[in-house]
Structure 1
Amino acid sequence: MSLLKQTTYQSFTETTAKELALALNLFSDNPELSCKEIGDGNLNLVFHIVDEKNGKGVIIKQALPYAKVVGESWPLTLKRAKIEADALKIFGSIAPNYVPEVYYTNDVLAVTVMEDLSHLLIARKGFIKGETYPLLSQHLGEYLARTLFFTSDYGLSPSVKKEQVQQFINPELCKITEDLIFTDPFYDAETNEFEAGLRAAVEDLWKDGELKFHVNVLKKSFLTEAEVLLHGDLHTGSIFADNSATKVIDPEFAFYGPAGFDIGQVFANLLFQVIVNEQNQALFIKHLETVWNVFEDQFTHLWNTENKENLAQSSAFLHYNLAKFFEDALGFAGCELIRRTIGLAHVADLDSIVEEQTRLAAKRKSLELGGILIKQRKEIKDLGAFIGTVKGVL
């Protein structure tokens, strides 16, 4: 039976991935296809297929019914593949310059076939290698402004917004976020992983009742505020880039939530480079500033020109929303800094530091800054205060 007519799920191999590419007629006549499984994440298979005759390539991504990091004892819904594909299509229609093109999707096989981005590099890997990606922060500011505005109540009609909220109900993957970002790092959970040299700082964090109160407030926002369609996992490992292009991938955690969450994820993952990259510290601080400044400018323009809610077309209400987004982003960034330091899923920005004391010092700064951003997010009123807070920890 042709894979295009398959009625039951089967996990792909390099052979079946090539079969699908051929069945979709994505290449020239009689292509010479090579295929390599390149996935390095925990939830999916990713195949890079290239026609050796002309170098044209595609990516085939398939969701697995379990988490690779744990195995079949951690089952996962295959519905996330449809959520990811639908999110890519919506984000691609809103911000086409910053999202890979989708060629084909199959809900039964949990497969998405999309544009080959192998000429670009995962931004986190590039940063660690010394790349600085001068346009990345401008592109991310524009991506955030467009996706967060055009999926909100102010960029959509009420009926379409509510239909999309329903379409992107994503309980299984949201539960992963709820646990790994907002719960487990703040008590002695089995999923936590950290070095012995951090034990004292971590135990102080676990004892901090004020911190845990504020994390609960942020978690409540994540659970209850369906403001916009979020990417849901917008770290530098979900961004391909070079010096002129930026592409956002992997929105399988997409759902309707608070706008500040995606912004905060971007903030935090740039902050890791601010913390560890002394040579380019000023440059990454500039990246932080540019993300917010471009986002604020672009969102303001869209608010004033594309707003579908007549009563909302006031500068006071716009500034209220922007202030809320900024405050939320700081808090969510703080949670991301902490969970990536002591939780289940770390970042190479920190873990790849070879010298132990240097690595531990960077991780302590990440924990300290995370706690400050969570607890003082209401007092940090603007970008200048944010940058000043960051510099105070460095």
Structure 2
Amino acid sequence: MTFEDESTSPSAAPLSTQELCAWLKAELDIDAQSADEIGDGNLNLVYRVRTSDGSVIVKQALPYLRLAGEGWPLTVDRARIEATALSLHNELSPGGVPNLIHFDADQHLIVMEDLRDHVIWRQTLIDGSLPAGMGAQVGEITARITLGTSDVLVPADNRKQLLKDFVNPELCAISEDLVFTSPYIDSPSNNIDDSSRELAERLRRDSELFAESKRLLWAFKTQGEALIHGDLHTGSVMVTDGDARVMDPEFAFYGPIGYDTGNVLAHLAFASTRHDLLGNQEQVKLITEEALTFWEVFVETIAELWPDSEPWQETFLARVLEDSASYAATEMIRRMVGMAQVADIESLELPQRYEAKQRIGRNARWLALGRPVRTVEELWDRAIHD
């Protein structure tokens, strides 16, 4: 399903909880009884609305980056992109994302299924309460969505329409700045404290690493292989026993497949590094199994979907693996010194947080500048090396 482009529509004022309940009743005949803001994300207002027969989640896009405030204007068209992506993702990987109930272009509102029995994948990794099989499920979802929107499977005319539907310049610009540029310069968006100051200073002197980041920025901007999530990591997946759902695809655009897979592996490496420094070796082992299984199932699903008429599957997967290592490196660096850092590391006490950031910075450099990886085991060993 494709929704109408709303990029020129005026920004709607944030709805109060009372206004939201009234809107749901008037527009969708949903018996909304109360609403609470529950969002702790960087972009949107998020509400849980209790109804007479359960609950729904409502997201409203604001005309600015919520994390930074009104001084950072941001398009509300991201709500259309997210709604369109959720609809398409559910077609390609049924049950892999929250069910979309309604999108309203005038209010920039998305109404979706409430996954209230699920928790954020990152939190289960931090707590050591990880449900089994989540890496496998995310690997399958990622493969079905990326290959299912690529030239390998999509007729040329359909793909050109998808490219048009997912032009996403403002949110891409956020990634282009925060991931590939700001960590290597003295940027006001960086988040530097005693645990990261030494690493930040070293990054500003590392011309070789900065050059590699700029090369990857070029690929990020020009290598439109498939519709990627654009912000896929352990904080954008909800999990419970037997079920993983990928959410928040407002950064979706046509880009390099390895950006998504690399980000997932980077965030699993954060969790592994945390538990290694805390002495929880059993958790390190479990996270390693999840990371390797994520890639193995991704590969298996690609093989299942790959047409016999395209005799270059091995070359394709080798390229995605190399890209995954490179983009894992940029994500590891970004989350150590840039905006929007990760609880896996930030919740550590200062001596351990310092050691984590030093280690992750070293490992990221090795991933970015070492010889190309040939196996996912090699990628993972570099990502978590102590």
TM exceeds 0.5? Answer: yes
Q: Say which SS state the counterpart of residue 320 (structure 2) adopts.
A: helix
Which structure dedicates a bigger proportion of its chain to helix? 1
For 2:6, the equivalent position in structure 1 comes to: none
User: C-alpha distance in 1, partners of 2:383/2:46?
Assistant: 37
Gaps of 5+ in 2: 1-8
2:5: which partner in 1?
A: none
Q: How many residues are aligned here?
A: 373
Q: What is aligned with 2:19?
A: 16
Task: Write out aligned runs for 1:25-104 (5 A).
Answer: 25=28, 27=30, 31=31, 33-51=33-51, 53-54=52-53, 56-104=54-102
> What SS does the aligned partner of 1:169 have?
coil
Alpha-carbon separation, structure 2, partners of 1:229 and 1:9: 28
Give, as a single letter, the amino acid of the residue that structure 2 aligns with 1:292.
Answer: W
Output the amino acid matched with 2:148. Answer: F
1:382 aligns with one of 375, 380, 385: 375
CA shift, 1:154, in A, is 1.0
Deviates more, 1:72-81 or 1:202-211: 202-211
Does the CA-based 8 Å contact 1:234-1:262 persist in structure 2? yes
CA distance in 1, matches of 2:23, 2:275: 43
Q: CA deviation at 1:73?
A: 1.5
Q: In the alignment, which residue of structure 2 is the partner of 1:340? A: 335
Assess, with a 3 A threshold, how the Cα gap between structure 1 residues 131 and 24 changes in structure 2: closer, same or farther.
farther
1:283 aligns with 286
Q: Distance in 1 between matches of 2:339 and 2:43?
A: 14
How many Å apart are 1:21 and its aligned residue?
Answer: 2.0
2:213·2:330 contact (CA, 8 Å) conserved in 1?
yes
Counterpart-to-counterpart distance in 2, 1:258 and 1:130 = 32
Per the TM alignment, residue 188 of structure 1 is displaced from its structure 2 partner at its CA by 1.4
Deviations 1:91-114 (A, max 9, x none): 111112211111110112111111
Q: Which residue of 2 aligns with 1:359?
A: 353
Q: Distance in 2 between the 1:335 and 1:26 partners? A: 46
Counterparts of 1:281 and 1:8, CA distance in 2: 46
The 8 Å contact of residues 17 and 47 in structure 1, kept in 2 or not, is answered as no
- Mapping of residues 141-290 of structure 1, within 5 Å: 141-278=139-276, 279=280, 280-290=283-293
The verdict on how the C-alpha distance between 1:263 and 1:179 changes in structure 2, with shifts beyond 3 A counting, is same
Note the aligned Cα RMSD (angstroms).
Answer: 1.6
What is the TM-score normalised by the length of structure 2?
0.93
Q: After TM superposition, give the deviation of residue 8 of structure 1 in Å.
A: 6.9
* TM-score of the pair, normalised by structure 1: 0.91
Write the distance in 1 (CA, Å) between the matches of 2:205 and 2:304: 44
Cα drift, residue 236 of structure 1: 1.3
d(CA) in 2 for partners of 1:261 and 1:386?
14
Query: Secondary structure of 2:245's match?
Result: strand
> 2:319 — aligned with what?
324
Aligned residues with identical type, % of pairs: 35
SS of match in other structure, 2:47: strand
Q: Deviations over 1:241-272 (max 9, x none)?
A: 11211111110001000010110111111110
Which 5+ residue runs of structure 1 have no aligned equivalent? 1-5
Contact 2:364–2:383 (CA<8 Å) still a contact in 1?
no
Note if contact 2:32-2:49 (Cα within 8 Å) is conserved in structure 1.
Answer: no
Cα distance, 1:50 vs. partner? 1.2
Alpha-carbon separation, structure 2, partners of 1:338 and 1:321: 26
Cα distance change on mapping 1:219 and 1:7 into 2, 3 Å: closer
Partner AA of 2:317 in structure 1: L
